[in-house]
Structure 1
Amino acid sequence: MPEPLPVELMNTVRPDGDVLDDAWLHAADLPGPVDLGQLRDLRRALRRLAADATEDPRAPVDPMSRPAALAVLNVLAEQAQARLIWPDGGPPERTLHGPAAGVIATMGLELLAGAERRRLRACLAPNCVLYFVKEHTRREWCSPSCGNRARVARHYQRHRQD
């Protein structure tokens, strides 16, 4: 998966439905036990907080207040435990253990409170509800198809006014 796991979870909401299903869970290779209800609550919370972090002008897909979103994120993040592993001949590494929602909540907390937050973006292509982490200075959309859709819409607007 190209995006950080919290962003991938946020992106399981699509304009035409919910793709948080067994196929996504298998592809995501989530750590720990999975509770779909917790993942859906976490997704709502992360999307609300990402909207605030990116000043997203789009209407929310599934509205939630900021205090409620913070409460969900913090309660779930408390379920994850950080551990340090230090293999012989290798560098030390921090790992997270616990239920999948707790691990993803902790990763989301780190994303939203860390330096990567400045690179978090809402895709503003027509009819897109996704988020992405901007890795390249010229990247403006979540995918090439969204970029194409945005360019076609701009072209249509320019020629419609003629």
Structure 2
Amino acid sequence: MDTVALLNTVRADRSGVHDDLADVAPRWRALRDAARVLAAERTDDPRPVAEGHEGRVAQAVATLNATAALAPGWPTLVDGRVVWASAVAAEDRALADAAAEAVRFFASEVELRACLAPGCVLYFVKEHHRQAWCSVGCGNRERAARHYARHR
């Protein structure tokens, strides 16, 4: 089951698991922060939002690895298809699956870039040699900012 389907399952059926997701949210934030530190390191992000990431890379890798190890699973055969089973709560499985995807992503050779448009804090995978921003909206904001700077 992919991570999105698992998250939808968790949202739809919360019986027997955490009654309040408040204790899960900090772990998701820690995973997000670790991924942002690794993305900033990989892209040499010059933006102010990424300042100070150099000293936190080792901790980010440790957080990512520890989170990915939260929900060890095993394949099971159900009606002729493989389903991953685990002995942990669905929230932990979803968190561990997201961390595992991040591990695979940061180990890949994709060209990750920081979007340098004004006000944007996102990263994107460069899919075309001329792609410079994460979205059309960011490109438009960048061009508008250049225009206004020239005509002031």
Aligned residues: 130
Question: Larger C-alpha radius of gyration, 1 or 2?
Answer: 2
- Structure 2 SS opposite 1:137: coil
What's the counterpart of residue 44 of structure 2? 55
RMSD of the alignment, in Å?
3.2
Give CA deviations for 1:121-160 in whole Å, capped at 9, x if unaligned. Answer: 1111001001111223322111111000001111222333
Structure 1 match to 2:28: 39
User: Which residue of structure 2 aligns with residue 130 of structure 1?
Assistant: 122
Structure 1: distance between partners of 2:59 and 2:121: 21
Ranked by relative contact order (alpha carbons within 8 Å, sequence separation 6 or more), the top structure is: 1
Q: How much has 1:77 moved relative to structure 2?
A: 1.0
CA change 1:57–1:72 in 2 (3 A) is same
CA distance in 2, matches of 1:112, 1:125: 23
**Do the aligned residues in 2 keep the contact of 1:76 with 1:101 (CA within 8 Å)?**
yes
Query: Moved runs in structure 1, 4+ residues, more than 4 A?
Result: 28-34, 61-64, 82-90, 93-98
What percent of counterpart residues are identical? 43
Structural mapping, 1:141-156, within 5 Å = 141-156=133-148
- Which structure 1 segments of 5+ residues have no match? 6-27
The partner residue of 2:105 within 106, 111, 127 is 111
CA–CA distance in structure 1, aligned partners of residues 58 and 141 of structure 2: 35
1:21-100 matched pairs, under 5 angstroms: 28-31=4-7, 35-60=24-49, 65-81=56-72, 99-100=93-94
Q: Is residue 132–residue 142 contact of structure 1 (8 Å, CA) maintained in 2?
A: yes
TM-score, with normalisation over the residues of structure 2?
Answer: 0.69
CA distance in 1, matches of 2:127, 2:83: 23
Which of the residues 144, 147, 159 maps onto 2:151?
159
Deviation of residue 39 (structure 1)? Answer: 0.5
Q: Which amino acid aligns with 1:122?
A: A
Structure 2 CA distance for partners of 1:123 and 1:30, relative to 1, 3 Å: farther
The TM-score with structure 1 as length reference comes to 0.65
Match of 1:15 in 2: none
**SS in structure 2 at match of 1:56:** coil
Report the residue type matching 2:123 in the other structure: Y
Q: State the AA in 1 paired with 2:70.
A: Q
The one-letter amino acid of 1:120's match is L
